[in-house]
Amino acid sequence: MEMSKVNADNRAVIEDLSISFPRPGDEDLLVVEAVSFTVGVGEFVAVVGPSGCGKSTILRVLSGLLSANGGTVLIDGQEVSQTPDHVGFMFQKDALLPWATIDENITIGAELGGVPLEDRPALVASLIDMLGLAGFEKAYPKNLSGGMRQRVSLGRLLAYQPTLMLMDEPFGALDYQTKIRMGRELLRIWEAERRSIIFVTHDIEEAIRLADRIVVFSARPARVAAEYIVNLSRPRNLSEMRGNAEFNRLTHAIWSDLSMPT
């Protein structure tokens, strides 16, 4: 409690977190071990780490969907015991309601985010437009491509308007161009509304392009292998960045962090 006062600027504080899953007929699977990191108010933190190391699991704990085995998780200074308010979670799977149209799926975010009734249609329509899904308002999820579904899921998160956004590989199924456009839109919203973001990705360039800070996890059990502040001025342009020394240094450092044998 006092802790949060000390770091009044932290939206999320993860301290010495450890998580393990029971396995029938075997010892528990230790997935996360003594992980600590923080997310400041208005900070954009990218998370990278090997597949299966525990990134999604940490997000599940942050959103109150899963209980940790040890450690502290504070959001806005409060211990997380159930889903905290204003925290939105975009799952790795799209988790769309199959019986709801695209319109309705996104509207759910707006409804639960407390968007006033009269503002919802306009908000949803503008999101659909931004996501490049115009014309598919009345389609059902099964009639969309994988990338389109991911965008609907993104739209739902944005319609929910959380102040802390937990995003689990949100652009994984998108092509480069769409990815970059979506990233730009995300940054626009983030900057305009001083939101905090935890952004899991496998794309190191993307992490550098978007984030203020990058947390690198080791292979399972996840430990914080390294943390990097991205000292690049915004707006960042990928083709310009490629020549930038800081960009190359970061890329290389994260690369070698991830290639460490475990």
Partner 1 sequence: MASVDKVTPMPPGRVRLGSIMPLSSVAARRLILFFALVAAWEFTAEFLVNEFWSSRPSEIVMRLFSMLVDGTLWRHTSITVLEAFAGLLLGAVVGTPLGIWLANAPKASETADPFIMGLYGLPRVALAPLFILWFGIGLLSKIMMSFTMVVFVFLLNSREGVRTVDPDLVDLMRSMRAKSLYRARKVLIPAIVPWILASFRLGIGLSLIGAVVGELVGSSRGLGWYIQNAGGMLDTTGVFTGLVVLMVIAMLANQMIALVEARVLRWR
Ligand X SMILES: Nc1ncnc2c1ncn2[C@@H]1O[C@H](COP(=O)(O)OP(=O)(O)OP(=O)(O)O)[C@@H](O)[C@H]1O
Contact positions vs ligand X (CB under 6 A): 21, 29, 31, 49, 51-57, 92, 143-148, 173, 220
CB of 194 to a copy of itself, least distance (A): 29
Chain residue at closest Cβ approach to Mg ion: 56
> Tokens at residue 16, please?
């010495």
Taking the least distance from each CB to partner 1, the nearer of 31 and 230 is: 31
Radius of gyration in angstroms for the set of CA atoms belonging to the chain, rounded to a whole number: 18
Bridging pattern class, strands 26-40 and 10-23: antiparallel
Q: List the single partner that 144 binds among Mg ion, partner 1, a copy of itself, none, CB under 5 to 8 Å by kind.
A: a copy of itself
The three-state secondary structure class of 244 is coil
**Where are the extended beta strands (E) located within 68-211?**
70-75, 78-79, 87-90, 164-168, 196-200
CB of 73 to ligand X, least distance (A): 15
Contact between 202 and 172 (Cβ < 8 Å): yes
The DSSP annotation for 138-168 comes to T--GGGS-HHHHHHHHHHHHHHH--SEEEEE
Give the alpha-carbon dihedral of 202, 160, 229, 2, to 10 degrees: -130
The interface mask with a copy of itself, positions 145-184, x = CB under 8 A, is xxxx--x----------------xx--xxxxxxxx-----
Residues 44-63 that bind a copy of itself (CB under 8 A): 48-57
Position 186 contacts a copy of itself (CB under 8 A): no
Contact between 58 and 92 (Cβ < 8 Å): no
Residues 16-45 that bind a copy of itself (CB under 8 A): 21, 23
Taking the least distance from each CB to ligand X, the nearer of 40 and 147 is: 147
Chain residue at closest Cβ approach to ligand X: 147
Interface residues with a copy of itself (CB under 8 A) are 21, 23, 48-57, 92-93, 132, 139, 143-148, 151, 168-169, 172-179, 202, 204, 255, 258-259
